[in-house]
Structure 1
Amino acid sequence: MDAISKMSLIELSRHFAYLQNSELCWQRLEHLILQQCKENFVQARQSAQEVDAMSVWWQTCFELLSAHQIQICHVNYREEYIELFNRGPAIVDLHGWKLCAGDQGQSLVFPRRTLMHPQEKLTITTSEHDSTLNFASARPIWNNRGDSATLLDASWAEICCWKYGVAAHCEVAISQVHYDRAQHDEYVEIANLGSAWVDLSGWSVVGDKSQQFEFPTGAVLRPQGMVRVYTSLCHTQTGGFSFNSKQALWMREGGEACLLDYQSRLVSKFSW
């Protein structure tokens, strides 16, 4: 599958949860997979391989599945390592895949037989002395202020992107503040407007009445996703975050909510 077709499939699938009632989404997904199946079948016959349509269909579907299985799940800029996670049911060979770190051109191409089993984590360190898989760098490569990591498959289609700190500022915004407590509970909604996973660890929501909520370690915001920080309730469907306050925090008459990163830099401001 060529990089453009694969990226189209990946991008479509990222938004599928929000477009599941759209007939156009189903048609586009079916068209892309069927088109690639036909191309794979023709290539197999031209190379005189013994092949059947069902095998080609499963292989094409697996190419899409493997892209969704592997994701960047953590970047530790203090201890200088990054983790990948296979969240799917199949073994994936990362041979030829590429991991790009930050904006200084650091990269790692995975060697042969780099296999990730289902539910397995894979750690890649900065220094070659720390693990078998590493960037072979004698200097730190992860910026303490913020950085990004991008995982590409063997055709160099983007599989996953992870951002933290200043690198994620342009991806995230406070999308609304629900301040009318008469209609359920108050909440601040934070949206990811981009295609990268965003690490919210240590980020905080603060208001003009000194209210403050800090996201716990491991809190993430998925691409095109959103989370809500409620005043008193806790809804796992929207992240499970709450101020745990019995009093109203956001005034109907007007106010301001700010989103700060882990170094207290302003990311987004919402006023009403």
Structure 2
Amino acid sequence: MNETFNPERVEHLHQSLSSHSEKMTIWTQLNAQVTKGAETLHHQAEQNGLPLSPLHSWWQACYELCSGYQIKISQVEYGEEEYIVLTNHGPAILDLSHWTLISNLARPFVFPPQTHLQPGDSIRVDVQRYAALSFHHRGRLLSVSGDKLELRDNRGICVSSWVYEREATNFIVINYLSYDGQEKYTEADEFVELMNISPHWVDLSGWRLSSVRGKQVFVFAKRSKLAPFATCRVYTNHFDANTGGYSFQSPRAIWHNKGDEAQLHTAHGDMVYCYAY
């Protein structure tokens, strides 16, 4: 494959062109990448004396370009029981042979040959030595204070990454605070919007969003997470599944119209971001 045929471009397109109104631009650019890849594969096969049909070349290019994008690190457990879960969200069966899971604190885990993941299925990699798929690591592997995990394909390209606690503090910002709600008396539709400014999945488990003046604290539930370059909102007393479904569930207004400060901390108390107005 030449340098222009790279699965990381799919992630870049998703990040930079995310609205439905831009779908034609996305499709046009993806088609260009697939066509370039198909031409490369077709040419390489002819040189090796194993010519491929145009359809085979095109399908193989689609798979190589997009297969990495359909798998994600979907869960990381770093408490009493340590493990990582990968989920195949796409339409193709994935061959994970020789893919690697990388932690900052241990040698990589390499998936053995003939490791396949069906569409819609998940696979779990444990830390303990007794598991079928395991890092075979003695003692703790995933630090409770923070770590970064990467899933890399057999070409070494990072297809998914996950950060938590201290490793995530530079990646979440308070993007906007709507302190003057429209709902009379309760202002239940006030909200704080958080944004993930990184290409990593960010684990928000146990993180705390607080109002300094209003003295209210919202704690993110276990396994709360924010996708790469995504946003979520924490409402005063309103539920919106499209923005994460988070709410203080406060019967009264939280954010004072004359000024306040919103603070975001990790579960261990590290300051992530503060927003004063």
Where does structure 1 differ by over 6 angstroms across 4 or more consecutive aligned residues?
none
Identify the residue that residue 194 of structure 2 maps to in structure 1.
190
C-alpha distance 2-192 of structure 1, shift in aligned 2 (>3 A): farther
Equivalenced residues, count: 270
Letter in 2 for 1:91: I
Identify the residue that residue 9 of structure 2 maps to in structure 1.
8
Identify the residue that residue 113 of structure 1 maps to in structure 2.
114
C-alpha distance 25-85 of structure 1, shift in aligned 2 (>3 A): closer
Match of 1:242 among 231, 237, 247: 247
Identify the residue that residue 159 of structure 2 maps to in structure 1.
159
Distance 2:20 2:150 in 1: 25
Identify the residue that residue 101 of structure 2 maps to in structure 1.
99
Identify the residue that residue 257 of structure 1 maps to in structure 2.
262
Once superposed, what is the RMSD of the aligned Cα atoms? Answer: 1.9
Partner deviation per Cα, 1:62-97 (whole Å, 9 max, x = no partner): 223321221101111121211111122221110021
8 Å contact kept, 2:100–2:111? yes
Instruction: Please state whether the residue corresponding to 1:147 is helix, strand or coil.
Output: strand
C-alpha distance 263-242 of structure 1, shift in aligned 2 (>3 A): same
Which runs of 5 or more structure 1 residues have no equivalent in the other structure? none
Instruction: Please state whether the residue corresponding to 1:108 is helix, strand or coil.
Output: strand
Matches within 5 A, 1:1-272: 1=1, 5-18=6-19, 20-21=21-22, 25-78=26-79, 79-101=81-103, 103-129=104-130, 131-182=131-182, 185-208=189-212, 209-272=214-277
C-alpha distance 124-31 of structure 1, shift in aligned 2 (>3 A): same
Shift of 1:22: 7.3
Instruction: Please state whether the residue corresponding to 2:61 is helix, strand or coil.
Output: helix
Distance 1:3 1:230 in 2: 44
Letter in 2 for 1:207: S
Instruction: Please state whether the residue corresponding to 2:170 is helix, strand or coil.
Output: helix
Distance 2:99 2:20 in 1: 29
Letter in 1 for 2:125: I
8 Å contact kept, 2:106–2:141? no
Instruction: Please state whether the residue corresponding to 2:33 is helix, strand or coil.
Output: helix
Distance 1:74 1:225 in 2: 17
C-alpha distance 16-63 of structure 1, shift in aligned 2 (>3 A): farther
Distance 2:198 2:180 in 1: 29
Shift of 1:29: 2.7
Instruction: Please state whether the residue corresponding to 1:21 is helix, strand or coil.
Output: helix
Partner deviation per Cα, 1:222-272 (whole Å, 9 max, x = no partner): 000010001111111100111122311111211100111111221110001
C-alpha distance 123-3 of structure 1, shift in aligned 2 (>3 A): farther
8 Å contact kept, 1:10–1:64? no
8 Å contact kept, 2:42–2:51? no
Shift of 1:13: 2.8
TM-score (norm 2): 0.91
Distance 1:156 1:235 in 2: 38
Distance 1:140 1:19 in 2: 44
TM-score (norm 1): 0.93
